[in-house]
Amino acid sequence: MKNKNQYYEQVAKDLLSAVGGSANISSVTHCMTRLRFNLKDESIPNDNDIQSIPGVVGVNRTGGQYQIIIGQTVNKVYDFLLKTGDLTQSSSSEDGLAENLKEKLTFKSIANNILNKLAGCLTPLIPMMVAASVFKMLGAILGPNMLNLIGTKTTLYQLFTFVGDAGFYFLPIVIGYTASKQFNTSRIIAMFLGAIVIDPNLIQIVKAGKPFDIFGVTMPLINYSSTVIPIILAVWVMSYIEQFFKQHTAESISTIMVPTLTIAVMLPIMLCILGPAGNVVGNYICAGILAFGKLGGLPTIIAVGVIGAFWEILVMTGMHLLMLTTMMMIFAQSGHENFVTLGAVAASMSVAGMCLGTALRIKDKDQKALAWSYLIASFVGGVTEPGLYGLAIRYKRPFIGMMVGGFCGGLYAGMTAITAHVMVPVANFLSLTTYVGGQTNNLVNGVISGTIAFVVAAIATYSIGIESKTNKQSNEQIKLVEA
Residue 161 domain-assigned (yes or no): no
Residues 276 and 349 grouped into a single domain:
no
Residues 322 and 470 grouped into a single domain:
yes
Cα 309 to Cα 306, 313, 386, 399, distances in angstroms: 5, 9, 18, 10
Main-chain dihedrals φ then ψ at residue 428, nearest 5 degrees: -95, -165
pLDDT at site 474 = 40
Residue 110 domain-assigned (yes or no): no
Residues 271 and 345 grouped into a single domain:
no
Of 50, 82, 103, the domain-final residue = 103
What range does the domain containing 49 cover? Answer: 2-103
Of 270, 291, 312, the domain-final residue = 291
What one-character DSSP code corresponds to residue 23? G
pLDDT at site 250 = 92
Residues 463 and 314 grouped into a single domain:
yes
pLDDT at site 475 = 44
pLDDT at site 249 = 93
pLDDT at site 72 = 73
Main-chain dihedrals φ then ψ at residue 145, nearest 5 degrees: -75, -20
> How many helices (H) and strands (E) would you count in the chain?
22, 6
The pLDDT profile of the chain, 483 residues, written as one tens digit per residue, is 567 888 888 999 999 999 999 889 988 888 777 888 888 888 899 988 898 898 888 888 876 788 898 877 888 899 899 988 888 654 433 444 444 444 555 666 676 677 677 777 877 887 888 788 788 888 888 888 778 899 989 999 999 999 988 888 898 999 999 999 889 899 999 999 999 999 999 999 999 999 999 999 999 999 888 788 899 999 999 999 999 999 999 989 999 999 999 999 999 999 999 999 988 887 777 677 667 666 768 888 998 999 899 888 877 766 666 677 677 777 777 778 888 899 999 999 999 999 999 999 998 888 888 899 889 988 887 778 788 888 888 888 999 999 999 999 999 999 999 999 888 777 788 889 889 877 889 999 999 999 999 999 999 999 999 864 443 444 444 444 444
Cα atoms found within 13 Å of the Cα of residue 39, Cβ hemisphere only: 23
Residue 141 domain-assigned (yes or no): no
Specify the number of domains making up the chain. 3
Active-site positions?
31
pLDDT at site 321 = 64
Residues 440 and 468 grouped into a single domain:
yes
Kindly report the number of other CB atoms within 10 A of residue 167's CB atom.
22
Residues 341 and 460 grouped into a single domain:
yes
Of 73, 103, 133, the domain-final residue = 103
Residues 224 and 284 grouped into a single domain:
yes
Edge-first strand listing for the sheet containing 65-69:
25-30, 34-39, 65-69, 58-62
Residue 326 domain-assigned (yes or no): yes
pTM here? 0.69
Residue 117 domain-assigned (yes or no): no
pLDDT at site 381 = 77
Instruction: Give the Cα separation of 234 and 5 in Å (integer).
Output: 40
Residues 443 and 342 grouped into a single domain:
yes
pLDDT at site 109 = 65
Residues 477 and 330 grouped into a single domain:
yes
pLDDT at site 289 = 66
Residues 300 and 237 grouped into a single domain:
no
Kindly report the number of other CB atoms within 10 A of residue 211's CB atom.
9
Residue 118 domain-assigned (yes or no): no
pLDDT at site 469 = 45
Residue 209 domain-assigned (yes or no): yes
Instruction: Give the Cα separation of 300 and 337 in Å (integer).
Output: 14
CATH number at residue 6: 3.30.1360.60
Residue 201 domain-assigned (yes or no): yes
pLDDT at site 111 = 67
pLDDT at site 322 = 64
pLDDT at site 139 = 86
pLDDT at site 245 = 96
pLDDT at site 232 = 92
Residues 272 and 302 grouped into a single domain:
no
Residues 264 and 308 grouped into a single domain:
no
